[in-house]
Each structure stands twice: as C-alpha cells, then as structure tokens.
Structure 1
C-alpha cells in the first residue's frame, strides 16, 4: 500500500465539500473552511499531486435516462484463481461498472448496468464463461442511497 497522505481537518473538510459537489467554486469552499481562496487552491493542488484527489467526475441520475437494470453479481471463484486475470477479464465487459474483491464469501461483487433482463443474462453468462468463476448469484437493485455523491 502506498504511503498514506497526512490530511488535517481542513483538508478533510475540503474533500467533503468537493465530494458533495466537485464543481463547487473555490470561494465557496474557502468561506466554508475559514480560509481565503489561495490557500484552498494550494491545498487542492497538493491533494491532487499526492493522488488523494484522482479525478473529478459526474454522477449520472440513471432514473432520468433509459438505462434499465442495475444488478450486483456475487462471484465465487474456482480454487485455481489468478485474481489479476479475473479482474482483467471482468474489465473487458462494458456493462460492468465496478468490481470489488472481498475477504470472505463471496469472493467478489460486480456492479452491472444493462438495458434489460436479456442483457443481464448475457453479462452473467459472460462472467461464468471465463473459467475462474465457480458460481454466481445476481441481485437486482430496486433503490439506491449513497452518502457521497
């Protein structure tokens, strides 16, 4: 694990504000944390340089566009697994949004977004076809709440 950056409470407050809205104006952040714009900007640049802030992104409201079904698929790996190969294989499937490897059961969770049930069936079949996955269990997301974003 790379060296962890040391962040003070002001850095953490800046991160919280950016997590809520990455387009928040520097002046607004500065006011919220009790600094002027220049030191806030220096802190953000430092956190970017240290890799604490990797990128700024958009949170899409999938309920407003036709994206169909979101599902989480549990993966149970075969005994002779090569985790890097599995991650590389799963990353090739365009409908896969996220992969989390876990300590415990299941071995991994895969977040999938598809247009319909037939697409979900195809993606889950693809996950099973790699040879390293012994079994899967798919759960369809009905609603979602996220603390950050």
Structure 2
C-alpha cells in the first residue's frame, strides 16, 4: 500500500538518500530542504519506506512547475511517478501545470504522456546535445 504525504523536515534524510542514490551526491540538499520547509515537496511511501518525491513551485510565469520527480531506481516502473503527478495535479495551486525532461529521458516522456501532459516547447543549451522538452497540462 502506498501513501502520499507533504514532506516534513524529519523526512529530509530519507528523501536525500533517494536523491543521492539517483544523482550520486548531496548537491541538492539545500534545494530539497527549502522545498520541504515551504511545503512544496510531496513524498510517496510504500509499506516500508519512502520510494520517491516531487518538488514544485509557482514561479514559472505564475504557473505550477514540477521541477523534480525522483523515484528510487529499484522502485521504478511501479506507478510511483504517476501517483505523485496525479496527486499534485489534484492539489495544484494553478490551473496550468508545466514540467520538463531531457530529450534523452524516454521513460519520463512516457510518464508525462500517460498523465495527460502535452509537449509545449524545447529549451536548448541546458545540457550539451540533449534539449529539454517542456510539457504542459491544463487542470
């Protein structure tokens, strides 16, 4: 059984462990801590522990922007990213929701499509040779 929660500061270390497992460092510690403090981090648990999290903000032209969705590598392809997105869509403070992923990230592109997001543009020059695809959903 899974549960979705707004992350609390006492969840920080467990959430950071997931992020570290994916990117190999603690470089986003301050970013994740600030998102938790500002109630912009949603986490998902299975029956044992946290398996993923989502961070959002509303600074993208006054629209919601999902800036980060991370799921533990061992827990991928089990619907956790979709569950995080569905929950966020249900509580989004704005009607327009945007997010993005690299052109090389085919799995995440599928998650966006499965959750009703459409392509809304590209941003070049963020990652050399790997454009960022912007996705959009109207709630």
Q: TM-score, normalised by structure 2?
A: 0.31
- Larger proportion of helix: 1
Q: Which has the larger radius of gyration?
A: 1
Structure of greater relative contact order (alpha carbons < 8 Å, 6+ residues apart)? 1
